Amino acid sequence: PAGRKTPALPAIGRPAQRPVEISQWDQVLELARAAPSPDVVQLGRGMPDVTSPTLRPLTQALGRISRRLDMPGLYYDNIHGRRCLREQVARLLLDSGTNIDPDDLVITTGAQEALAICIRSVCQPGDIVAVDSPSFHGAMQALKGLGMKALEIPTDPLTGISLDALELALEQWPIKAIQLTPSCNNPLGYIMPEDRKRALLTLAQRFDVAIIEDDVYGDLAYTYPRPRTIKSFDEDGRVLLCSSFSKTLAPGLRVGWVAPGRYLDRALHMKYISTGSTATQPQLAISDFLKAGHYEPHMRRMRGQYQRSRDLMTGWVTRYFPEGTRVSRPQGGFMLWIELPEDFDSLRLNRALQGQGVQIAVGSIFSASGKYRNCLRMNFAAKPTAQIEDAVRKVGAATALLMQRADPA
């Protein structure tokens, strides 16, 4: 309805009482199994828009490399990854204030492998890892698969992880690492202010714990210059920085990287027993794309598109969802976090939407212990269309119907 106020921000969660073993795999699997279909509007997956004409030079590079007579893509690669790509990644990292030697980078098969390598490099089964909450479900499931426990730290939807709650947790528990996404966070979209990033690093130094920094959305900040990484302030190598081209270019390429600092030897060992090396052809194609100067024009286009899409989707949620719905205010990336009344169940909502050709990400997968059942995440990366607006309308209508059934009065 016209005249509605800007929705309130999501609430800050309560501190966790203790570390927990991660659950929710069945719900994550349901999301991961969803294959692209013209009959389903996938608001739940973490897909960027891969239809931009600014990606054409990348597809041309893939074709050109596959036709070369020496067929470099058919050989095993160096465990570090192609040096030409590592040099280009090192140049990109300078934009975030991060000065990394190409020899200190390891190319990975996407950021998911990078995260797993980081976790295995600093932790053992049974160890405790402090995480921002809500947190990326891929990081949660990596901890689960590696036999570790998560301690969820409350997170402000504008400024990030609570340093007071984190300090208390570090005093109380034998935490081995802190894992978080401080720039263009998934799912909340905030950018942690620089002074808080420095303060977090100081805490990690004081308690001698590693920081695993996921920067996969950092280049998608709507403001320029892009935010600095925590790694850029790191002087003793305790920050393991990981990222990929899955959100900025295309997830099907499966190319990421990690700058593991003092843990380089351990990270190389974990890479060796994981995939050995990353596929060569996409590395060469991305390297060519970056070297030719195509990356920054592409990123300028995508940042503008995603910012406009954020505003449109926020407006649609305000229009079609019940009054009182809380909505995040992303400062980058392409995810919107929506919070409904505490007794709402987004699992029931997802089931109700299955017959309507719409898919969402339920909030509970972003928690180690299954919190946030009253929340959901929606993707606004695709170019806004009447079909997407109609999908948001369906989600809002189904939400209202479930709320009415729960409270018939």
pLDDT tens per residue across span 29-40: 888 887 778 888
- Indicate the domain borders of the chain: 20-52+296-404, 56-293
Give the pLDDT of the chain (409 residues) as one tens digit per residue: 555 678 999 998 877 779 999 888 888 888 888 777 888 899 999 999 999 999 999 999 999 988 875 666 677 889 999 999 999 999 999 999 999 999 999 999 999 999 999 999 999 999 999 999 999 999 999 999 999 999 999 999 999 999 999 999 999 999 999 999 999 999 999 999 999 999 999 999 999 999 999 999 999 999 999 999 999 999 999 999 999 999 999 999 999 999 999 999 999 999 999 999 999 999 999 999 999 999 999 999 999 999 999 999 999 999 999 999 999 999 999 999 999 999 999 999 999 998 899 999 999 999 999 999 999 999 999 988 999 999 999 999 999 999 988 765 5
pLDDT value of position 58: 98
pLDDT value of position 38: 81
* Assigned CATH for 20-52+296-404: 3.90.1150.10
Alpha-carbon span 129 to 119, nearest angstrom: 9
pLDDT value of position 17: 78
Alpha-carbon span 40 to 357, nearest angstrom: 4
- Whether the full predicted model's pTM is greater than 0.85, yes or no, is yes
Beta bridge mates, 150: 20, 129
Alpha-carbon span 31 to 47, nearest angstrom: 12
393-397, Cβ contacts within 8 angstroms, sequence gap of 24 or more:
393/316, 393/320, 394/353, 394/356, 394/358, 395/43, 395/320, 395/321, 395/349, 395/353, 395/358, 395/360, 396/316, 396/317, 396/319, 396/320, 396/321, 396/322, 397/320
pLDDT value of position 409: 53
Fold of domain 56-293? Aspartate Aminotransferase; domain 2 (3.40.640)
pLDDT value of position 357: 93
pLDDT value of position 65: 87
